[in-house]
Amino acid sequence: MASTTAGQARSPAATMSPYQYALVALCCICNLADGFDVSSLSLIAPVLSEDWGIDPAVLGVIFTATSVGLALGAFFIAPLADRFGRRRVMLCAIGSLAVTMMLSGAATNISQLLILRTVTGLALGTLVVCLNTTVAEFATPAARNVSMAVVHVGFSLGMATASAVTILVLDWQGWRGVFVAAGLLNGVTFLISLLLLGESPQFLIKRRGPADLAQYNRLQRRMGLPDVAALPQPVVHETVARPGFRSMLEPAMRSETLLAWTTALTYSIVGYFLMSWKPTILHNAGLSPKLAAASVMISSAFGIAGHLGMGLFAKRFGERRLTALFFLLAAVCLIIFGIQPPDPVPLLLMAGLTNFFVVGAYTGLFLVAVVMYPPASANTGLGFIVGFVRVGAAVGPMLGGFLLSAGFGRMDTYVVFSAIAIVPALTMFLAARLAARRRPDASSTATAGLASEAV
């Protein structure tokens, strides 16, 4: 009988050990730093433009460099964790963020900043994948969904932290101080990760190096579990024969993989349109600039609730089904927002409610991904999903700008994006049907993916 990983040796109902809680907290802090890094450029953009005399088109190229780096990191670097170990790849990514953010604070021209933001994007795209797979592997099945939701909340908190730090630092140290603060935050995160982060138990089982048994037993002891005399045999996932990229497109996984990619792409078209254009659309609807800006804070609060709501209830209703429902309700909210009269209170509340479902569905997409792919190809599977999210992140704002430039009003624009939001709802409903047909309990969090490798 093959043993499970250290993190999964407890029963699904067992409580998490202090070390497992600490790892979830660490991943949340890492994601907080990511949120800080991603939003830092947009927060200092007005001051940077004035200081360097940058044309808006050039600034747009710098923004795009970060997004391109994120996509490339998710597509091509994150999957390397399946081959070389998650701990090593994560430490390289966090260390790179600390260095690039500090160097960004010392940049003297556009070319330097462009290169640094591209490298920052590469590290961010790598790290966001590894954070999800790490939590999925180490958390107990009963706590996994909530643990991943908490990690996703960290990103929203990071954006809020970046806003607060910018307010405090900008007048004192200028825009460079914001980048330096981000670099210091990542530096502290790197040191904590160096001490706390353990290697993936599944990677140790697969690699079976001379020192891997000792590493495995150290993880066992950290979680209050007994040592083992020999490494367990690798668990062969029932639906795949080959690890890595090819496993995602094998007949048993191909349909769900393509549905997940479609979901990721269409979700991000809608989500990043809202992130980019919502304040402008609210201002055009008659809200003051301050109220339009306040919509970001209100939407963030609703978004945090959406992360946690998905994490709390996905296990009960099934990840795929609840994610599909969230996308469907997001589409309904988009329609209501589009036809809402220009009254500030209802508009702001509907903007927040829309974000609740959109952001909750984003968390749900990752919960679906970690029950789809076996540990041997977990980083590859999530990496491609994040990569398609980043592709949609570029398409959504451009499509929104095109529609608004073409004279589409708020109602017409939101009808278009509501129609797009129907697509991921349908793909997730189809994914739920496929999973149920293949394995009746596939939608249960206790029987698939990283959290179910015990046999």
d(CA 102, CA 280): 32
Q: What is the mean pLDDT of each run of 10 residues along the chain (455 residues)?
A: 41 74 95 88 81 80 83 89 91 97 94 94 93 91 90 87 84 90 96 94 87 90 88 64 63 85 94 78 75 72 91 90 96 92 85 92 91 75 87 84 84 94 96 78 38 33
The vertex-85 CA angle with 142 and 22, nearest 5°, equals 40
Q: What is the C-alpha separation between 283 and 342, in angstroms, rounded? A: 10
Helices and strands: H and E segment counts in the chain: 15, 0
Tokens for 198?
A: 């353990």
Same fold, 6-222 and 245-437: yes
Return phi, psi of residue 337, to 5°. Answer: -60, -40
- Rounded CA-CA distance 197/452 in Å is 22
pTM: 0.78
For tokens 């394995």, name the residue. Answer: 439
Cβ–Cβ under 8 Å, residues 172 and 316? no
Query: What is the pLDDT at residue 242?
Result: 53
Tokens of 136: 């999925």
377's CB contacts (< 8 A; 6+ apart) are: 82, 240, 243, 244, 245, 247, 248
CA–CA distance, 260 with 133 (Å, rounded to integer): 16
Domain 6-222 coded CATH 3.40.1400.10: no
Q: 373, 336, 378: which is closest to 353 by C-alpha?
A: 336
Residue 216, CB-side half-sphere exposure with 13 Å CA sphere: 26
CA dihedral of 337, 339, 344, 346, whole degrees rounded to 10: -60
Give SS3 for 243: coil
Closest CA to 216 of 452, 450, 6: 6
Pair of tokens at residue 27: 């991943």
> Which pLDDT does position 9 carry in this prediction?
43
Instruction: Tell me 342's DSSP state.
Output: S
Which overall architecture, per CATH, does domain 245-437 show? Answer: Up-down Bundle (1.20)
Q: What ranges do the domains of the chain cover? A: 6-222, 245-437
Nearest to 5 by CA among 442, 371, 450, 374: 450
